[in-house]
Structure 1
């Protein structure tokens, strides 16, 4: 089963056992997190309703990306600026896809209405 989740303004297609690199989220290595913003879910070519689905993941590491050089120059004005930037990343391992959220599983229909 796969799911498309949104985190950090980006969308990722994940399945159980996948490792993904996302923008930094809080947590120590070994901690478990749930990604609740599931946009799409399915198995094979069949799609399911993503309402109430969550994706469970485990934080493998907090890391930094490669350095990106930002160079600004204005010609003929003796203006040069050189900066570097390293983005903070979190590496996640997807544990399970498609677990029902606790809000959905807590809603039950009373026996009198059924």
Structure 2
């Protein structure tokens, strides 16, 4: 059994016990959260829509991703702009999928 969930503007295909990194959620570590479900597949029977199912996940940790460098410049104009960015994330463990 697997489900397709949507969070942070992205979709993820998950099964029970999977650990995934998603965009940062406003939940404390150890909390359980319900995630929006797009589709659920149970032995080849696919259900889609709002009432497709229910997925609960446990928040394992929060953190920041790898640093990326954003560097802009204009040739021959003495313009240089260097910025770094680390995207915050939340690590989730899928506890249950109900169709």
TM-score, normalised to structure 2, is: 0.92
Residue of structure 2 in register with 1:12 after alignment: 12
Asked if residue 23 in structure 1 is aligned to residue 23 in structure 2, the reply is yes
Deviation per CA, 1:67-103, whole angstroms, max 9, x where unpaired? Answer: 010000000001011000000000000000116xxxx
Give secondary structure in 2 for the equivalent of 1:40: strand
What is the alpha-carbon distance in structure 2 between the residues aligned to residue 46 and residue 55 of structure 1? 17
Greater Cα radius of gyration, structure 1 or 2: 1
Write out aligned runs for 1:19-58 (5 A): 19-35=19-35, 37-50=36-49, 51-58=51-58
Instruction: Give the number of equivalent residue pairs.
Output: 98
Higher strand share: 2
Give secondary structure in 2 for the equivalent of 1:76: coil
What is the alpha-carbon distance in structure 2 between the residues aligned to residue 11 and residue 49 of structure 1? 14
Write out aligned runs for 1:1-114 (5 A): 1-35=1-35, 37-50=36-49, 51-98=51-98
What is the alpha-carbon distance in structure 2 between the residues aligned to residue 86 and residue 73 of structure 1? 21
Runs of 4+ in 1 over 3 A off after TM superposition: none
1:44 deviates by: 4.0
What is the alpha-carbon distance in structure 1 between the residues aligned to residue 53 and residue 81 of structure 2? 47
Deviation per CA, 1:37-88, whole angstroms, max 9, x where unpaired? Answer: 2111103433134515110000000010000100000000010110000000
Give secondary structure in 1 for the equivalent of 2:14: strand
